[in-house]
């Protein structure tokens, strides 16, 4: 069993389709919703933690792609622009999952994308515009 | 045996100078004692990098053809002040772009302002200048829309009325209902976070608490180049209560600084956006402290555990200019990531980049050690702790019998 954190983007014509429930039913997957949103462009956005057998995960995600869903690993969507980060620490108190932390020895701000749930709170809270969402 | 500026500068010129950072000085004094450290070390370098409002730049764009006496001007849509002369402009760091929605809806993002314009100029980007004038016989032109670039300007200098605050408060939020959006960043409700903003033991004026060596004319590191102190900064308040080590227990001295924008680096000057508050800029400043005697060795060995800052409620007390601090906390405690307020553990977050402060102090050390930076003795001292100078709030006086 393994877990993958993925961002699913549903184009307008798929918003009313039961894609997620079919992923669960047909591919024997469990899911944990980390974020769900209808974007300004009327696209659906779903950030999921999907758990299942590796083969099931791959088959399920391949099927979702065939339906027209855009699938992307979560780690590719929230990025820190290193040249913009000054390692101040303004971001760390708004991060609910401790994906952003400050190293008490080096005083560097660390970013652990595995802990990130793409809540986006860090994006406007960073005074330097170093956190970027690439949805 | 006390040293003079001339003696230290001679050691810089001949490559014999002993220069260390304020962090290194702590260990040296601990290991060797104040007396030996004062004899051996000539200069201690300091550094700070964090948001600093009261920052701006003076730009002379050169005369247009036909000539123009600019009265209103915008740089990339950000209003600049044109009331200095015909083609001298002043762009302030906290000015928002004119079409910014500000805090409607709240909290606004303030994505672009004067600090970003200055950062763009330093980075070599073209900036769009639009301007208006009423027209005179000697300056007939009334409109201008053009691109400008830092390299083409006659003069361009950073001219900051208040930077390098000596110590500062710690912001907390006692309101149990909502997070607040301040120049200290997002401060979480119900004592959910505490923001602080100083490099502590590396910060320039905390290493010379009585301004014995930092005064008007002092040569400094300013945003990647050599700048200088040109006056006491606005809100300079040397009479803030101090600890036995001389370190003020809150905001005290400030510096007005100036330097050539054309020689600066965007590594050490950045435009910033504070959610729900506005635009500003972050400035890197480093100041060399000459070890003239044992007192200066002692002052420069100050460490985080000996520097205390007041904890202030920003949900009401700060904004309404009333109330007392909730206590004092040391920088050593702040840097552990958690402090105790009202018996509760509160996570802390810095706004000042200690990593950048270290970089600045080290860079300044290298400049001095390689003979590229000599010390300038102040030509006039700043108002001192015994000056009686205090920070005053505005005393409002009724106008027209009090009618608004």
**One-letter-per-residue 3-state SS of chain B:** CCCCHHHHHHHHHCCCCCEEEHHHHHHHHHHHHHHHHHHHCCEEECCEEEECCCCEEEEECCCCCCCECCCEEEECCEEEECCCCCCEEEEECCCECCCCCCCCCCCCCCCCEHHHHHHHHHCCCCEEEEEECCCCCCCECCEEEEEECHHHCCEEEEEEEEECCCCCCEEECCCCCCCEEECCEEECCCCCCEEECCCHHHCHHHCCCCCCCCCECCEEEECCEEEEEEEECCCCCCCCCECCCCCECCCCCCEEEEEEHHHCCCCCEEEEEECCCEEEEEEEEECEEECCCHHHHHHHCCCHHHCEEEEEECCCCCCCCCCCCCCEEEHHHHCCCEEEECCEEEEEEECCCHHHHHHHHHHHHHHHHCCCCCCCCCCECCCCCCCCCCCCCCCCCCCHHHCC
What is the predicted pLDDT for the residue at B116?
A: 98
Active-site residue, B138 included: yes
**Per-residue confidence at B165, pLDDT binned at 50, 70, 90?**
very high
Q: B352 with B49: CB under 8 angstroms?
A: yes
Q: What's residue A13's pLDDT?
A: 86
Å from A116 to nearest chain B CA? Answer: 19
Nearest-Cα distance to chain A for B14, in Å, is 34
Q: Which residue has the tokens 């005290």?
A: B252
- Cα(A118)–Cα(B303) distance, rounded to whole angstroms? 38
Phi, psi (rounded to 5 degrees) for B285? -130, 135
- State the Cα–Cα distance between residues A24 and A46, nearest whole angstrom: 14
pLDDT at B126 over 80: yes
pLDDT of residue A119: 85
Q: B354: pLDDT confidence band, cut at 50, 70 and 90? A: very high
Tell me which residue has tokens 């100041």. B287
A135: pLDDT strictly greater than 60? no
The span from the CA of A34 to the CA of A49, in Å, is 7
What's the pLDDT score for residue B404? 58
Tell me how many degrees the CA angle B250-B55-B280 measures, rounded to the nearest 5: 85
CA distance B163 to B266: 17
User: For chain A, what is the mean pLDDT?
Assistant: 89
Cβ–Cβ below 8 Å for A93 and B193: yes
Q: How far apart are CA B255 and CA B218, in angstroms?
A: 10
Token duo for residue B122: 């330093």
Peptide bond into B220 cis (omega under 30): no
Minimum Cα–Cα distance from B278: chain A residue: A127
Q: Which chain A residues contact residue B358 at CB under 8 A?
A: 107
Measured between alpha carbons, how far is B34 from B296 in angstroms, rounded to an integer? 9
Token pair of B201, please? Answer: 């033991």
Q: What is the pLDDT of residue A34?
A: 84
For chain B, give the mean pLDDT: 97
Q: How many Å apart are CA B51 and CA B62, to the nearest integer?
A: 31
pLDDT, tens digit, for every residue of B127-153? Answer: 999 999 999 999 999 999 999 999 999
Q: How confident is the model at residue A116 (pLDDT cuts 50, 70, 90)?
A: confident
Q: Do B51 and A106 touch (CB under 8 A)?
A: no
Residue A115 pLDDT: 87
The candidate with the shortest Cα–Cα distance to B91, out of B64, B119, B124, B117, is B117
For residue B5, the model assigns a pLDDT of 98
Cβ of A86 within 8 Å of Cβ of B49? The answer is: yes
CB count within 10 Å of CB B58 equals 18
Q: Which of B108, B346, B349 should be substituted to probe chain A, the one whose Cβ sees the most A Cβ atoms within 10 Å?
A: B349
Q: Given 3-state DSSP classes, what are the helix, strand and coil percentages for chain A, each rounded to the nearest 5?
A: 25, 30, 45
* Beta-carbon separation of B356 and A124 below 8 A: no
What is the value of pTM for the model shown? 0.92
Given a cut of 90, is residue B62 above it in pLDDT?
A: yes
Which of the four pLDDT bands, split at 50, 70 and 90, describes residue A40? low
Q: How confident is the model at residue B90 (pLDDT cuts 50, 70, 90)?
A: very high
* Residue A124 touches partner B, C-beta closer than 8 Å: yes
Across the interface, which of A90, A104, A106 has its CB nearest the CB of B337? Answer: A104
Question: A73 in contact with B at a CB cutoff of 8 Å?
Answer: no
In this complex, do B349 and A90 lie within 8 Å of one another by their Cβ atoms?
A: yes
Burial status of residue A73 (CB atoms within 10 A of its CB: 0-12, 13-18, 19 or more) = exposed
Cross-chain residue pair A124–B358, CB shorter than 8 Å: no
Pairing of strands B194-196, B344-350: parallel
Question: What local confidence, expressed as pLDDT, does residue A45 receive?
Answer: 86
Distance in angstroms (rounded) separating the CA atoms of residues B215 and B212: 8
Structure tokens at B5: 């500026």
% of residues, chain B, pLDDT over 70: 99
Q: Which two tokens stand for residue B371?
A: 């003979």
Q: ipTM beyond 0.90?
A: yes
pLDDT higher than threshold 60 for residue B317: yes
Per the structure block, which two tokens stand in for A94? 């708004």
Q: Which residue has the tokens 């005369």?
A: B63
Q: State CA B40 to chain mean position distance.
A: 31
Give, in order, the Cα–Cα distances in Å from B278 to each of B54, B127, B186, B229, B297: 13, 21, 12, 27, 40
Among chain B residues, the shortest Cα distance to A85 is held by: B353
Of the candidates B188, B170, B190, the residue with the CA atom closest to the CA atom of residue B179: B188
Q: Is the predicted pLDDT of residue B395 greater than 80, yes or no?
A: yes
Chain A interface mutation, best of B50, B350, B356, B359, highest count of A Cβ atoms under 10 Å:
B350
Q: Kindly state the tokens that stand for B244.
A: 């036995």
Cα-to-chain-centroid distance, residue B35:
32
Mean pLDDT, range B183-208, rounded to an integer: 98
Residues of B in contact with A107 (CB under 8 A): 335, 353-355, 358
- Which of A88, A92, A125 lies at the smallest CB-CB distance from B353? A88
Using one digit for the tens of pLDDT, what is the confidence trace for A51-100? Answer: 999 999 999 999 999 999 999 888 777 889 999 999 999 999 999 999 99
């Amino acid at each position: 069993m393994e877990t993958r954190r993925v961002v699913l983007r549903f184009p307008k014509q798929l918003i009313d389709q039961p894609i997620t429930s079919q992923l669960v039913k047909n591919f024997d997957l469990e899911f944990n919703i980390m974020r769900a949103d209808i974007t300004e462009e009327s696209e659906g956005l779903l950030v999921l933690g999907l758990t299942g057998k590796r083969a099931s995960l791959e088959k399920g995600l391949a099927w979702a792609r065939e339906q027209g869903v855009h699938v992307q690993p979560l780690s590719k969507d929230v990025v820190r622009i290193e040249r913009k980060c000054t390692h101040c620490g303004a971001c760390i108190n708004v991060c609910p999952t401790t994906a952003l932390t400050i190293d008490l020895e080096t005083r560097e701000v660390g970013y652990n994308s595995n802990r990130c749930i793409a809540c986006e709170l860090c994006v406007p809270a960073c005074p330097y515009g170093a956190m970027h969402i690439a949805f | 045996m006390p040293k003079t500026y001339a003696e230290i500068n001679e050691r810089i010129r001949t490559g014999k100078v002993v220069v260390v950072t304020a962090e290194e000085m702590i260990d040296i004094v601990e290991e060797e004692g104040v007396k030996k450290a004062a004899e051996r070390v000539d200069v201690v370098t300091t550094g700070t990098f964090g948001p600093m409002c009261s920052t701006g730049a003076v730009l002379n764009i050169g005369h247009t053809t036909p000539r123009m006496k600019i009265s209103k001007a915008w740089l990339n849509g950000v209003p600049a002040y044109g009331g200095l002369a015909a083609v001298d402009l002043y762009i302030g760091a906290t000015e928002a772009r004119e079409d910014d929605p500000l805090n409607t809806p709240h909290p606004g993002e303030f994505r672009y302002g004067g600090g970003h314009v200055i950062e763009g100029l330093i980075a070599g980007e073209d900036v769009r200048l639009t301007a208006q004038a009423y027209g005179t016989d000697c300056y007939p032109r009334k409109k201008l829309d053009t691109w400008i670039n830092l390299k083409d300007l006659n003069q361009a200098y950073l001219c900051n009325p208040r930077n390098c605050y000596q110590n500062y408060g710690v912001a907390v939020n006692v309101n149990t209902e909502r997070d607040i959006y301040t120049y200290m960043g997002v401060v979480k409700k119900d004592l959910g976070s505490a923001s602080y903003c100083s490099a502590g033991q590396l910060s320039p004026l905390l290493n010379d608490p009585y301004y014995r060596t930092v005064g008007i004319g002092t040569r400094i590191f300013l945003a990647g180049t050599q700048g200088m102190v040109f006056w006491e900064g606005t809100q300079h308040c040397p009479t803030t209560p101090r600890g036995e080590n001389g370190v003020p227990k809150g905001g005290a001295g400030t510096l007005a600084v100036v330097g050539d924008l054309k020689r600066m680096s965007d590594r050490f000057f950045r435009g910033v956006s504070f959610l729900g508050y506005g635009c500003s800029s972050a400035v890197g400043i480093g100041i060399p402290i000459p070890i003239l005697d044992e007192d200066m060795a002692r002052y420069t060995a100050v460490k985080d555990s000996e520097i205390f800052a007041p904890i202030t409620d920003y949900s009401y007390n700060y904004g309404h200019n009333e109330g007392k601090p909730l206590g004092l906390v040391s920088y050593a405690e702040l840097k552990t990531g958690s402090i105790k307020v009202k018996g509760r553990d509160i996570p802390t977050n810095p706004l000042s980049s200690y990593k950048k402060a270290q970089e600045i102090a080290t860079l300044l050390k290298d400049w001095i050690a390689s003979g590229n930076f000599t010390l300038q003795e102040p030509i006039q001292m700043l108002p001192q702790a015994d000056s009686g100078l205090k920070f005053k709030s505005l005393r409002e006086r009724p106008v027209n019998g009090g009618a608004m």
